[in-house]
Amino acid sequence: MIEVIITFIGVFIFLFVFWKRLKEDYITNQVFSVATLVLIGIGIANIISRFYFNGWWFWMAFTGSFIGVIAGIIKYRLRFFEVVEAFVIALLPWLGLTFLALAFNTEVKTVIFTGIIVLLIIIFGFLDSRYKTFTWYRSGRIGFSGLTVLGLFFLIRAAVAVFLPNMVSFVGREDSILSAVIAFLSFFGLFNISRVRT
């Protein structure tokens, strides 16, 4: 029952935040169509993980959701970093609620990640309001906050996976490698958009 309630609240928050971040640049139908693709990706991934890759639910959901984002970007020809940034901040509250539910149902240690996600949301808000004032971020391009927070999340996850590889959302020490790769790609993307176009 708790899982259903958490999912309902998480989906609602995701849709609202995703729409709020993109509503000024894209028409509502496009925004919600991309969001729907994300939800479909998560839904399919959850079904597959439940029957075939039970321990990989986090990675399956992340992959499914990201495929949904990419499909939406390609279909509607949207700006990649702008949509990814909206995707990151919209997904964080839902993920935080999921970890909180896990803390109540199966493993108290997962509440740590709920606290980390709350901190990342605060960091996102701070960076989002200040990144254009950073003199070293000369391009001023959107995507800074989203990629930074995404990189930090997976960097922290990689570190935790080394010491607590048996947590519910982890797949063992392999999780640290996968998380480190995503963190590297996020920071590499951040480096690319920070460069001033000539």
Where are the alpha helices (H) located in the chain, listed in sequence order?
A: 2-22, 28-51, 57-76, 80-105, 111-130, 144-163, 174-194
Tell me what the pLDDT averaged over the chain comes to: 86
Where are the chain's structural domains? 2-194
**Contact predicate 167/110, CB 8 Å:** yes
pLDDT at residue 195 above 80? no
Measuring CA to CA, how many Å separate 108 from each of 52, 99, 101? 26, 9, 9
- Mean per-residue pLDDT for 83-108? 84
- Mean per-residue pLDDT for 162-171? 63
Higher pLDDT, 189 or 165: 189
- pLDDT score for 33: 95
- Mean per-residue pLDDT for 67-93? 94
- pLDDT score for 2: 73
Q: Give the total residue count for the chain.
A: 198
pLDDT at residue 39 above 70? yes
pLDDT at residue 93 above 50? yes
- pLDDT score for 198: 40
- pLDDT score for 176: 84
Does the predicted model carry a pTM greater than 0.75?
Answer: yes
Half-sphere exposure of 169 toward its Cβ, with a 13 Å CA cutoff?
Answer: 27
How far apart are the C-alpha atoms of 124 and 132, rounded to whole Å?
13
pLDDT digits (tens, 9 = 90+) for 54-65: 778 888 999 999
AA letter at 72: G
Q: Is 38 helix (H, G, I), strand (E, B) or coil?
A: helix
- pLDDT score for 148: 95
- pLDDT score for 135: 78
